A and B are shown apart, each in its own frame.
Chain A
């Protein structure tokens, strides 16, 4: 089944404790992206990747890191989480970032930073 998976689905952590949210897709998509979604705000892009070893900042990259060492994986790293990073996070992928193509979203990771 074609899908985007994220782990963990739910996470409660404390300020300053490094964490990684994994994202994997099995559709051989070039383009992958991370979003956060907060009440009353639209999806805001954190980072995106057009292909392996190519990553770029989105609208809200501060406090986050990403890597794209393999085509299928695009982990999101919070080196020192803070309470303002409490949010719902979505990973998405599509077959190309430069042409129209729908994005497929993972199920989401609900992160709470205390």
Chain B
């Protein structure tokens, strides 16, 4: 079956670094997405990885290892506004998105 696993909740301190992990099992693989979703709002796109390695975008970076079925989202210099849920989604061989349940990130001052 197809499955995306990510931690339910994480807590970090303002100004610190946090890594949110995601493991995936999909029928075929055409890439992995990360979305951010603030409470009560729509998800917004953060990153897409299809090749192994690290992609950096400002304070946010995303890493993919296809051989391990593993990705992580790295957030640096955490700000209070980064408190949100982070959704991992894999794109399968039919180009359908398989979504994880999301990781709720709590930032403490």
- A102–B89 Cα distance when bound, in Å, is 11
Does any Cβ of A come within 8 Å of B87's Cβ? Answer: yes
Contacting residues, chain A, for B95 (C-beta < 8 A): 97-99
Q: Which of these, B4, B41, B45, B102, contacts A103 with CB under 8 Å?
A: B45
Contacting residues, chain B, for A43 (C-beta < 8 A): 43, 87, 89, 97, 99
User: What is the minimal beta-carbon distance from B36 to any residue of chain A, in angstroms?
Assistant: 11
B interface SS class = loop
In the complex, residue of chain A having the shortest beta-carbon distance to the beta carbon of B100: A42
Query: Which of B's residues lie within 8 Å of A, judged by CB?
Result: 4, 8, 30-31, 33, 40-45, 48, 50, 87, 89, 91, 95-97, 99-102
Decide yes or no: A100 and B100 within 8 Å by CB, A90-B42, A105-B42 being known contacts.
no
The answer to whether B4 and A102 have CB atoms under 8 Å apart is no
Does any Cβ of B come within 8 Å of A61's Cβ? Answer: no
The answer to whether A108 and B102 have CB atoms under 8 Å apart is no
Q: Which of these, A40, A102, A106, contacts B45 with CB under 8 Å?
A: A102
Q: How large is the interface on A (under 10, 10 to 19, 20 to 34, 35 or more residues)?
A: 10 to 19
The answer to whether A106 and B33 have CB atoms under 8 Å apart is no
User: What is the minimal beta-carbon distance from B32 to any residue of chain A, in angstroms?
Assistant: 10
Contacting residues, chain A, for B96 (C-beta < 8 A): 45, 58
The answer to whether A42 and B87 have CB atoms under 8 Å apart is yes
Report A52-89 residues with CB < 8 Å from chain B CB. 58
A-B contact pairs, 12 of them (CB 8 A): A41-B101, A42-B4, A42-B101, A44-B99, A45-B97, A90-B42, A90-B43, A100-B48, A100-B50, A100-B91, A108-B41, A108-B42
Contacting residues, chain A, for B101 (C-beta < 8 A): 40-42
Q: With a 10 A CB-CB cut-off, give which of A42, A58, A99, A105 has the most chain B CB atoms.
A: A42
User: What is the minimal beta-carbon distance from B39 to any residue of chain A, in angstroms?
Assistant: 11
User: What is the minimal beta-carbon distance from A56 to any residue of chain B, in angstroms?
Assistant: 10
User: What is the minimal beta-carbon distance from B12 to any residue of chain A, in angstroms?
Assistant: 21
Contacting residues, chain A, for B40 (C-beta < 8 A): 108
In the complex, residue of chain A having the shortest beta-carbon distance to the beta carbon of B96: A45
